[in-house]
């Protein structure tokens, strides 16, 4: 079925529900004392994974829209991107409030001392810039610079899984899977496969003309 603009409202409604449900589930786990043996680390990890999963979904939108010719899906990227930002805010707020207890001097020490926190901070700055410039008025005002800035989503997709990988002391299989997954998505979204296909087609045509002559 070909999706049209008439379906956009329901698509966005479904996105809102699917994005909010994990937060409601987390609140339920906290209220029922089922947030693991270390609730603070559980909350920090849960919200971080929420941001990463939402980022992966965001990276999937364009390839799926092109593959299945569902152009209306492109209209959902902004709302999904804002939910990536929302989960990132929850992740950072949980870290600062529950782990560091708002010790701002300790925060800056941690950023300098721990590489994974520095990578996380850089990722958040990129995500912040992408989010505040996602509005149509700013997009028109920025012109070509808007696209240049929003190409940083590719850097973001590399940094976030690295942040996850460096943050764990053991059980590196899960972050390793995310690194492979985001790498594949970046490869699919890059122009290299298309350029390679064009090169192969040209080479085939040249060989065909050579053999025919």
pLDDT of residue 197: 47
Q: How far is CA 203 from CA 57, 206, 208, 210, in A?
A: 36, 5, 8, 10
Q: How far is CA 41 from CA 67, 94, 107, 120, 146, in A?
A: 39, 9, 16, 16, 36
pLDDT of residue 108: 87
pLDDT of residue 211: 46
Residues 139/146, Cβ–Cβ less than 8 Å? yes
Whole-angstrom distance between the N-terminal and C-terminal Cα of the chain? 47
pLDDT of residue 1: 81
Domain boundaries, the chain: 5-212
Distance in angstroms (rounded) separating the CA atoms of residues 161 and 167 = 10
pLDDT of residue 193: 47
pLDDT of residue 105: 87
Distance in angstroms (rounded) separating the CA atoms of residues 25 and 22 = 5
| Whole-structure pTM value | 0.87
Q: Token pair for residue 142?
A: 């920025």
CA 16, 80, 63, 157 torsion: positive or negative?
negative
Q: Token pair for residue 77?
A: 């990227």
Distance in angstroms (rounded) separating the CA atoms of residues 213 and 210 = 5
- Crossing angle for the helix pair 152-167 and 115-132, to the nearest 10 degrees: 150
Query: pLDDT tens string for the chain (213 positions)?
Result: 888 999 999 999 999 999 999 999 999 999 999 998 999 999 999 999 999 999 999 999 999 999 999 999 999 999 999 999 999 999 999 999 999 999 988 988 888 889 999 999 999 999 999 999 998 888 899 998 998 999 999 999 999 999 999 998 778 899 999 999 999 998 887 665 455 445 555 655 665 554 454
Instruction: Determine the 3-state secondary structure of 160 from DSSP.
Output: helix
Q: How far is CA 196 from CA 65, 108, 199, 206, in A?
A: 21, 45, 5, 15
């Amino acid at each position: 079925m070909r999706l049209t603009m008439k379906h956009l409202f329901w698509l966005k409604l479904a996105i809102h529900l699917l994005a909010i449900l994990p937060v409601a589930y987390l609140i339920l786990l906290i209220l029922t004392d089922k947030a693991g043996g270390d609730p603070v680390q559980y909350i920090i990890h849960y919200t971080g994974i929420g941001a990463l999963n939402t980022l992966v979904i965001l990276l999937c939108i364009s390839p799926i829209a092109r593959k299945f010719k569902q152009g209306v899906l492109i209209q959902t990227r902004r709302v999904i991107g804002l939910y990536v930002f929302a989960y990132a805010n929850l992740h950072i707020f949980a870290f600062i409030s529950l782990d560091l207890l708002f010790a701002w001097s300790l925060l800056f020490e941690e950023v300098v001392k721990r590489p994974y926190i520095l990578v996380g901070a850089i990722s958040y700055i990129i995500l912040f810039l992408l989010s505040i410039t996602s509005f149509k008025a700013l997009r028109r005002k920025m012109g070509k610079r808007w696209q240049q800035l929003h190409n940083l989503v590719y850097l973001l997709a590399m940094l976030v899984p690295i942040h996850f990988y460096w943050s764990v002391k053991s059980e590196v299989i899960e972050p390793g899977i995310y690194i492979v997954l985001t790498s594949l998505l970046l490869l699919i979204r890059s122009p290299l496969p298309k350029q390679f296909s064009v090169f192969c087609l040209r080479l085939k045509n040249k060989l065909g003309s050579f053999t025919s002559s």
